[in-house]
A and B are shown apart, each in its own frame.
Chain A
Amino acid sequence: MTTLVSCTPASALGSMILSILDFTGPAVPYLGRGLVLLALFSATFGAVIGFAAGIRKDHRLTRIATLMGGLFAVFMLAANALMVVALLHPNFAVSYVAEVGSIQTPVYFQIVSLWASLSGSILLWGGVLGLYVIAMILAIGNKHPDYLPWSLGTLLVICVFFAMLVSSVADPFQPTPADHIQEMCLMYGCANGLPLDGPGPNPLLQNHWLMAFHPPTLYLGYVGMAAPFAMICAALFAGRLESGWMTPLRRMFLLPWAFLTAGIIMGGWWSFAVLGWGGFWAWDPVENASFMPWLTGTAFLHSAMMMQRRESMKTWTLILGMVTFLLTLFGTFLTRSGVFNSVHAFAEGPVGPIFLGFIAVSLVFCVVLLSLREHTLYSLNGLPTLSRRRLPAVQNVSQRTVILGAVLVLVFTLGPALAISMTLIDSLPVAFALPFPFTMPRTLAWLWLPLVLVIPAFFLATKNRHLGRELTIVLQNFAFTLFTFVVFIGTVYPILSEALRGDEGKVSVGEPYFDKFAFPIGMILVVLMGIGPALPWGRASVSRAWTRFAVPLIGAGLTGVLWVFRGGIQQQPGIEDPGLWFGFQTLGNYLSCSVSTTCELQFSGVYTTLALSLCVFALLAGFNEYLLPVWARFRGKKETPIVAAWQVARKGRRRWGGHIAHMGMIMAVFSMAMAKGYRQEQYFTTGPGQDHEFAEYTITFEDIEILPEGFRESRIGKFRVSKQGKDLGLFEPRINTYKTRPGMPLPAPTSRVTPTHTLQLSLMSVEKDGSFAYLRVIRMPYMVWLWIAAAVMFFGTMIAIWPSATRRPQSTRKPDEKNEGHAA
């Protein structure tokens, strides 16, 4: 606590220090406010000094701004620590603790309460922002004196905004009002003028350990996007953008991106494990809010490679980076302003409108900065400036690529456009709609995908030799941008509709809308993930491309055939015994049904089969890509395979990290496709001793137990589960009722996790005497791989970020070209 002592402004009032350091006393709110105000002051001062340093190119001023950034971090983190202490105690003199604190909550969840409610999570925002200020200062180091002051200035302006929020409208450190304390005293009893207990956090937060990791991870992703944003603005302010600056920028972008990725998947995990609805993603607005910046961020990471290596797509890349930051702000606004509950709820608190104002100001700031400074980026390095008048997305890419890109854009945009007109004119013949998945009979939808892929193949066939990695990156960017647009419209529409039309306009956009777009776009991305890294920069020779993709293509085809053979495509309702040719018979039925407009048969597993074989394609293409250099070293340098693999990994750490992240993504797509495609679910109404058959399991209801645990009461249903006669033990799904919110009992499902599937038992409701229970049983194939994929992607990104010992000296000597050549 020594830092706290040195930070207090009240150093003159030595006698007060003792009373202030009493974390149980009523002085804590004032101490917290003091820390926040100090943080606000350092951020403001630092921002002004930072911009001054940028304008006057004065390094002494830069140093002061750096110091102020550091101080902001220290004060904000201290304020967070103080709040945690207050929550642990719990000190109800602090308004936020009075809101979410409780003495009955276990210590673990008392800490978690820091992000249980609005003002606490804004405080955490500030703290994490502080961490990223330090991270950015460290990442930039001494090498970029031109950029550093501008980055600091911009980032500290964002810090000022959050410090202002924490010190005014979202102040968690208010002294609890006297009448509120009286109310609480009536409810919980009093000692020394403070209530003995409080309401505690929302039970949903207490029901699972993941709640301790998911929100802060997501925050580390969300908040961190402010740092690369500041660095992008710095490039525009400074009026230059070399490849050298892209190295810290990329690193500062990857760090929050990795956390965002992990946070999103963890959210799915939490939702699967706690809510017990047997799904992990519902296109809920809150989920979309975190997904959109991930989409634009991923697009940024790839187009930044174009920018760094080919000096092209500069403006476009910067736009993506800026949009990512704006979307994180937008996401925080959506999740934290209560706008989803009701537009009216949003208008009640002051935080929502202020946040919206900040987003609007940031948006206008981005547009102005980009418009006025964009031209300065193109006058460097003696590069021709002619190309910038063309579409920014396709600079330096050959003419044919531009045409191809245009064709694809047309296909992408014409699809939705036609979909709109088609829904207006129902009578258009189905055949006409063939290339577009949006309105045709569902069974025909996937035909659209090969069509899009056939276009590049057509260009290959016409001896176009300009197909390199550039093309795949341009396509990837198109796909990601379209995806973002689709999600954005679907998320914002209900809010706007209600805001403009009142109660009449209360709607929600259903999952099918999102799924319809997510599947084809996702599949295109999987294919690109296979093709892209395997193609060289610049020209790719057709024959070499074919040799590279022969094995993956055969593998994908074979997988598809085998999967159908195994019965991967099923006719609903399912037929008992598949038999040898069952799979192909179904496939035949499916195909003949596809071309008929009157066919009413339902099929399952078609999309999943397609997704599976495309995943195999991407996986094999990636492996191929990694194995070839190992093989070359093995043959050429006579190294053992392990040494060769190690050397390859060490030489291209960044590339290797990217590969691992791609593998993780493929794993995630595979798992999602399987879990969604072959999910089984059933409800049982059950009494003691009753048996139920579900998939390969037999579930027997035995008994219930009522377990009081202090802060909650659990009703535990005991189910004996056996698999083909083999006893798997007792499953104990619960219903937890928290003392702090008795009106909101929550189910806590139990799962059996195996590599091939997850079995989840969820007790929906149960009689106290154990005579009756509602049980929901879900079987999700390959579910666990999605959670593993999060770790793999995080690991891969960290490898790519980690500064490599071998690359450092090279990159200082030759800024970039040579080194890039190595990696590529």
Chain B
Amino acid sequence: MKPWKRLVLALSALVISGAILAGVAYSPEIGRSLFGESNLVMYWSPSELLAKGDTAKLSTVRLGGMVVRGTEEDWAKKLPLKFFVTDMKETIPVSASGAPPDMFQEGIGVIVEGRMDENGVFQTGRPIVKHSNEYRVPSEGDSMKDMASTLKEAQ
């Protein structure tokens, strides 16, 4: 093979494989079948999760939102930990089997990975507190409204 022919061939192979990769990433169906339904973890807010209805109960998702405490009894320090995650539109009850990090408190941004159970309670392991890019954690002084806008940005 002449060198320049090889070059044309190699470059077109490069372009084609790039295009295939982009195609795979563009189509959710291919992605899902490539990695397997259960291995692709989607990021959803409470309203997005509820919008999916029962189908959401099948797959593992990451739910992001703000922590709201429930009754005093639920908020008591024992495991599983019970709290709510909200995006200011919808609120989902969460039950976490793992201990939360030290900065876990009401009004903080949180990510929980797990799935919805039959009763509509989101079951998760350990809640992860959400940092912004500079690891700036929302402080206690931030009002609820500020929190909501931070969350919106973060998503």
Contacts and interface: CB of A to CB of B under 8 A. Distances in A.
Interface of A: 202-204, 338, 341-342, 345, 363-364, 367-368, 370-375, 389, 419-420, 423-424, 489-490, 492-493, 496-497, 499-501, 503, 505-510, 512-513, 683, 685, 735, 741, 743-745, 747, 764-766, 772, 774-776
B21 A509 contact: no
A345 B133 contact: yes
B24 interface: yes
B131 A508 contact: no
Interface of B: 1, 3-4, 6-7, 9-11, 14, 21-22, 24-26, 28, 31-43, 60, 62, 77-79, 97-104, 131, 133, 135-139, 155
Closest 3 CB pairs of A and B: A496-B25, A774-B99, A371-B7
Contacts of A203: 135
Given A342-B133, A765-B104, 19 more contacts: A341-B133, A367-B10, A372-B6, A374-B3, A423-B32, A423-B33, A489-B34, A490-B35, A493-B24, A500-B25, A507-B40, A508-B40, A510-B38, A510-B40, A510-B41, A512-B36, A683-B97, A772-B77, A776-B99
Contact of A506 (B22, B37, B42, B103): B42
Name which of A345, A371, A500 has the most chain B CB atoms within 10 A of its CB. A371
8 contacts: A364-B14, A489-B21, A493-B31, A513-B36, A683-B79, A685-B78, A764-B102, A776-B98
A372 B7 contact: yes
Given A371-B6, A510-B38, A765 B60 contact: no
B28 A496 contact: no
A91 B31 CA distance: 50
Contacts of B6: 371-372, 374
A203 B6 CA distance: 52
Given A372-B3, A743-B137, A501 B41 contact: no
Contacts of B100: 764-765, 774
Contact of A683 (B22, B25, B40, B98): B98
A496 B34 CA distance: 15
B135 A496 contact: no
A364 B12 CA distance: 11
B98 A493 contact: no
Contacts of B4: 371-372
A744 B99 contact: no
Name which of A364, A389, A420, A507 has the most chain B CB atoms within 10 A of its CB. A507
A512 B38 contact: yes
Contacts of A774: 77, 79, 99-100
B35 A513 contact: yes
A345 B42 CA distance: 19
Given A496-B25, A510-B38, A513-B39, A367 B101 contact: no
A497 B107 CA distance: 30
Given A372-B3, A683-B79, A744-B131, A506 B43 contact: yes
Nearest to B32: A423
A205 B118 CA distance: 42
A204 to B, nearest CB: 8
